Amino acid sequence: MVRRQARATSFDVAALAGVSQPVVSRAFTPNSRIAPETRERVLEAARKLNYVPNSIASSLTTKRTNIVALILGNLANPFYVHVLHAFSKRMQAEGRQLLVFTVDPGADSDEAILHVLKYQVDGVILTAAQLSTRMISICHDRGIPIVLFNRYIPGSDASGVRCDNAGGGRLIAEAFLAAGAKTFAMITGDPKGTTSQDRARGFVERLLEEGIKRSDIIEVEGQSSYEGAASAALSIFKDKSRPKPDALFGINDIMAMGAIDALRSRLGLSIPNDLMVGSFDDIPEARRAPYQLTTVRQPIDRMVEETLSILHLDEPDLPIERGIDRPIQGRLIWRNTIPVPPAYRFEKTDESGS
C-alpha cells in the first residue's frame, strides 16, 4: 500500500448520499439552510467513507484557517510551558489549532513570522522573543493580529498583554522592606526583555523611594536560566568588595530556584534566615517543598483571556486593535522565603485562584 491514498472528498460523499456537493458542505456547516433529514443522510454517507472535511481547502475560500501561531522564546522557563498549556486548552476548546514555534532565547522571531505568514494564520501570539517592528507592520498590513504576551516593543503599535511587572517588582521590594532587609541584590534576566527590565526597575524605584542607596543594590545578570542564576548568585557572594545582601530578588521563579539551590548547596546559606528571596511568576513549581517561594503571581488565565479578546478571532472583520497595552495586576503570594512581617501575617495564604 502506498501513501497518498485517495481520501474521500465532498463529491464522493455527495454521490453516495445522492445529493450535490454544496449540500455536503452545508451538512457540515452549522446554521446553514439544509433539511435536517438531508443532513443526516449526508453525515451517514460521510461516516461510511471516513470523510473528514479538508480544512486546507476550505481555508482557501473562507480565508480563515482557525490556526493561531504561538511563538515561544524560552521553554526552559516553566512559566512559558504553563502559558503554552493554557493557550492550548483554550484554543482547542474553541476548535482552533496552535502552530507552535520555538525561538532560541535572544534570537529574533522574524524568521518564524515569515513561516507564519505562509500559513495564513488567523493570529499570532508572541512570548519571550524579539520581533522587529517591520514584521509587525507586515502582519498588520496583511490583516493578521498579533499580541505580545508579557512583552512590548518600544516604538511599535503592536498590542500587548502583560503583567504589571514594575508594580510586581515594587511588591517584592515592599515585602523585603517590611521584613527589615537593608542591603539588596537582584538577579536579572534577558537584558533585551522588557519583562526583566520592568521588574528590576519597579524593584529599584521602590527601594530608592525608601531612601535605600543605589550602591546598596547589587545587580547581576543571570542569562535568564536556572543555571545562569545559580552562577550569578554565587558571584554575588564571592565578591568580597561589597557587603553581602540580606535580600535577593530573583527576576523570575526559575531563576530564584537556581539561586537558592546554589547558595544552599555551595555556600550553606539558609533561606530566609541568612538571605531572604523574592521572585516573580508563581509557577506551580514555586510551591514545592524545597522552595516555598514568596513570589508575585502572574494571573495567567486572565492574561490569556485578555490576549484572546485583543485578537478577537471571532470577528475577523473588525479592525486590528493596535497599540493596546493591558497591564494586569500581579499579587504577592507569601510563602517561606521572606519572613512574614506582623502586619502582613493575615495575608499568608497560598490558595489558588488568581
Q: Which does 21 bind (CB under 5 to 8 A by kind): DNA, a second copy, none?
A: DNA
Q: Which residues bind to DNA, rule: CB under 7 A?
A: 7, 9-11, 18-26, 28-29, 33-35, 38, 51, 53-54, 57-58, 60-63
Q: Which is nearer to DNA, 10 or 252 (CB)?
A: 10
Q: Which of 35, 57, 107, 208 binds a second copy (CB under 8 A)?
A: 57
Which of 40-48, 177-185, 256-264, 273-281 is the region at the interface with a second copy (rule: CB under 8 A)? 256-264
* HEC secondary structure over the chain: CCCCCCCCCHHHHHHHHCCCHHHHHHHCCCCCCCCHHHHHHHHHHHHHCCCCCCHHHHHHHHCCCCEEEEEECCCCCHHHHHHHHHHHHHHHHCCCEEEEEECCCCCECHHHHHHHHHCCCCEEEEECCECCHHHHHHHHHCCCCEEEECCCCCCCCCEEEEECHHHHHHHHHHHHHHCCCCCEEEEECCCCCHHHHHHHHHHHHHHHHCCCCHHHEEEEECCCCHHHHHHHHHHHHHCCCCCCCCEEEECCHHHHHHHHHHHHHHHCCCCCCCCEEEEEECCHHHHCCCCCCEEEECCHHHHHHHHHHHHCCCCCCCCCCCCCEEEECCEEECCCCCCCCHHHHHHCCCCCCC
The answer to whether 178 contacts a second copy (rule: CB under 8 A) is no
Residue 125: CB minimum distance to DNA, A: 24
79 forms part of the interface with a second copy (CB under 8 A): no
Contact 291, 229 (CB under 8 A): no
Q: How many CB atoms lie within 10 A of CB 207?
A: 26
HSE-CB for 106 with a 13 A CA cutoff: 6
Residue among 172 and 286 whose Cβ is closer to a second copy = 286
Give the nearer residue to a second copy in terms of CB position, either 101 or 203. Answer: 101
Grid cell for residue 80: 512559558
Using CB under 8 A, pick the residue from 59, 235, 329, 354 that binds a second copy: 59
Least Å distance between CB 129 and a second copy? Answer: 13
Residues 5-34 that bind a second copy (CB under 8 A): 5, 7
Which listed option, a second copy, DNA, none, makes contact with residue 1 (CB within 5 to 8 Å by class)? a second copy
Q: Between residues 63 and 115, which has the closer beta carbon with respect to DNA?
A: 63
Question: How big is the site for a second copy, counted in residues (CB under 8 A)?
Answer: 60
Query: Of the candidates 33, 142, 213, 214, which one interacts with a second copy according to CB under 8 A?
Result: 142
Cβ burial of 118 (10 Å; 0-12, 13-18, 19+) is: exposed
Q: How far is the CB of 237 from a second copy (least distance, A)?
A: 15
Residue 107 lies near a second copy (rule: CB under 8 A): no
CB nearer a second copy, residue 94 or residue 209: 94
Q: Per CB under 8 A, which region of 36-44, 87-95, 214-222, 240-248 contacts a second copy? A: 87-95
Q: How far is the CB of 1 from a second copy (least distance, A)?
A: 6
Residue 41 vs 201, nearer CB to DNA: 41
Supply the minimum distance, in Å, between the C-beta of residue 233 and DNA: 52
Is 68 in contact with 122 (CB distance < 8 Å)?
Answer: yes
Using left for φ > 0, alpha for ψ between -120 and 50, and beta otherwise, residue 290 falls in alpha
By the rule CB under 8 A, 99 interacts with a second copy: yes
Shortest distance (Å) from residue 6 CB to DNA: 7
Interface contacts to a second copy, rule CB under 8 A: 1-5, 7, 50, 52-57, 59-60, 63, 65, 67, 70, 75, 78, 81, 84-85, 88-89, 92, 95, 97-102, 112, 114-115, 117-120, 138, 141-143, 145, 226, 261-262, 264-266, 288-290, 316-320
